[in-house]
Amino acid sequence: MTSPSPSSERIAARTLGVGLVLLLAALGLARGLAALVERGSPPERLHQFSEGTERLVNFLDALPGIAQRDDAVIVFGSSIIQHGFSPETFEQHVGAPVTAYNVGFPGVDPETQSLLARRVASTFEPTGHKALLALVEFTPFQATLARGRAVNFRELSAIKKALLADPLALARIARRSPEEASHLAALRLLGGSSPKVMKSLLEDQFLDRQQPDWWPVPESLDAVLLERRDWVTRIHEGRMAAEHRQLPEWDPVHRGEVRWIFDGTREDYLAWARLRSTPEALKPDLEWRIETSDILELRFDEEQVRYFIEAVRALASVSRETRVVLAPRNPAWNQPTPGGRARLAAVLALIEKETGAKVLDLAESPEFTAEDFIDVTHLNESSGRPKFSRRLAEAVAEQWGRGVAKDAAP
């Protein structure tokens, strides 16, 4: 066997070098295009289509400072917490000197939450500090088999997994699915964006423009949707005017709470909320939740339940007390079947057994009505958010005097 000649080795090295240069150029072009599209999108559209990616990045930037505190109450969960929890209201009613944080994110699944919980734990551990309390919200329909099959939700979770996954997590994912691991690596290289997000933003920018008279395709956005968009735009503009600053998606000033209601935005918010919560809007919303998340039957994915248990354990390792929370359900639109309720009860019992964290079940709290919700699943800011935040604080205060609460009580 003859060894390769120096000239052939040089050719191979040159070919490899050219390939790497082309790959880096393509990556730079893709990232540049993504940045250009994002800069051309209004903040409210970018937040809508990226489903919390910027919010996650903002929170990770703030996390080292949070990890230096001994009075932190971390309220961790999904978009139900993002839209439904006010740290300020909680602090006013809990009866102890605490600093609460809204750590709720949209478009996540329990596996993504377990990665984020491990990031929180790994940030706290070197500091020697522990959070005073971790309240971990469980969203049942996010842990269903149907949710795992929904392409849109899988991609939105994947973007956040790409930002959170360390080499060990990627290796675990690769053992399960090499294709998924390579996809996450590609999303990581894209800097927290994805082709799906870019496609949605480009379509939105195109459809949002006034089309010329000669354009043969009719407007695809109906009048109600356009009206809702106009209200959202005015609310965002009013928020920035009231705060006198550009607002990050996870705002350290409000400790993660997204505030839409100010003196100048209240009427626009209430009008927008009324449009979103009509029966004509809620019926298709429920049908979509049934199709994509099995919200009423709740046929659970055992693997996703295990990931949620991992998340609770990770947060418990850096918290002096930990509880699992079930947020209020919309009593008019979100009523699981008897089978769904039985399956949920079994999963909650398993979570409590495996983590040792007591479950605070507010799902059917009688004080919540359909008027407290902006859609099938999310509380509104006008009445639902303050009511839930106060009720959560009162439930914690009822336990004050045991464990961590005893040390914190005035």
Q: What is the pLDDT of residue 192?
A: 58
Query: What is the Cα 380 distance to its own chain's centre?
Result: 16
Contact between residue 155 and residue 20 where contact means Cβ atoms under 8 Å apart: no
CA pair distance 398, 95, nearest whole angstrom: 10
Q: What is the pLDDT of residue 20?
A: 44
pLDDT tens digits in sequence order for the chain, 410 residues long: 555 556 665 665 565 555 545 444 544 544 455 555 455 555 554 555 556 788 999 999 999 999 999 999 999 999 999 999 999 999 999 988 999 999 999 989 999 999 999 999 999 999 999 999 999 999 999 999 999 999 888 888 888 888 888 888 878 887 888 877 777 777 767 665 555 554 454 445 445 544 444 434 444 445 656 666 776 777 777 777 778 778 888 999 999 999 998 888 898 889 888 988 999 999 999 999 999 999 999 999 999 999 999 999 999 999 999 999 999 999 999 999 999 999 999 999 999 999 999 999 999 999 999 999 999 999 999 999 999 999 999 999 988 654 344 344 33
CA pair distance 272, 231, nearest whole angstrom: 6
Contact between residue 383 and residue 371 where contact means Cβ atoms under 8 Å apart: yes
Q: What is the pLDDT of residue 182?
A: 75
Contact between residue 119 and residue 85 where contact means Cβ atoms under 8 Å apart: no
Q: What is the pLDDT of residue 202?
A: 46
Instruction: Tell me how far apart the terminal alpha carbons of the chain are, to the nearest angstrom.
Output: 83
Residue 139 burial class via C-beta count within 10 angstroms: exposed 0-12, middle 13-18, buried 19 and up? buried
| Nearest in space to 98 (alpha carbons), one of 333, 360, 319, 352 | 319
CA pair distance 103, 66, nearest whole angstrom: 11
CA 278, 271, 108: angle at the middle one, nearest 5?
A: 70
How many CB atoms are located within 10 Å of the residue 180 CB? 15
| Nearest in space to 222 (alpha carbons), one of 172, 265, 274, 275 | 275
Strands 99-104 and 72-77: parallel
Contact between residue 336 and residue 344 where contact means Cβ atoms under 8 Å apart: yes
The two most distant CA atoms of the chain are separated, in Å, by 84
How many CB atoms are located within 10 Å of the residue 390 CB? 17
CB-facing half-sphere around the CA of 389: CA atoms within 13 A:
27
Q: Is the dihedral of CA 187, 80, 258, 389 positive or negative?
A: negative
Helix H, strand E, coil C: the string for the chain is CCCCCHHHHHHHHHHHHHHHHHHHHHHHHHHHHHHHHHHCCCHHHHHHHHCCHHHHHHHHHHHHHHCCCCCEEEEEECHHHHHHCCHHHHHHHHCCCCEEEEEECCCCCHHHHHHHHHHHHHHHHHHCCCECEEEEECCHHHHEHHHHHCHHHHHHHHHHHHHHCCHHHHHHHHHHCHHHHHHHHHHHHCCCCCHHHHHHHHHHHHHCCCCCCCCCCCCCCCHHHHHHHHHHHHHHHHHHHHHCCCCCCCCCCCCCCCCCCCCCCHHHHHHHHHHHCCHHHHHHHHHHHHHHHCCCCCCECHHHHHHHHHHHHHHHCCECCEEEEECCCCCCCCCCCHHHHHHHHHHHHHHHHHHCCEEEECCCCCCCCHHHECCCCCECCCCHHHHHHHHHHHHHHHCCCCCHHHHHCC
The tens digit of pLDDT for each residue in 352-401 reads 999 999 999 999 999 999 999 999 999 999 999 999 999 999 999 988 65
Q: What is the pLDDT of residue 11?
A: 63
Q: What is the pLDDT of residue 12?
A: 52
Task: Give the length of the chain.
Answer: 410
Q: What is the dihedral of CA 152, 155, 156, 160, to 10 degrees?
A: 170
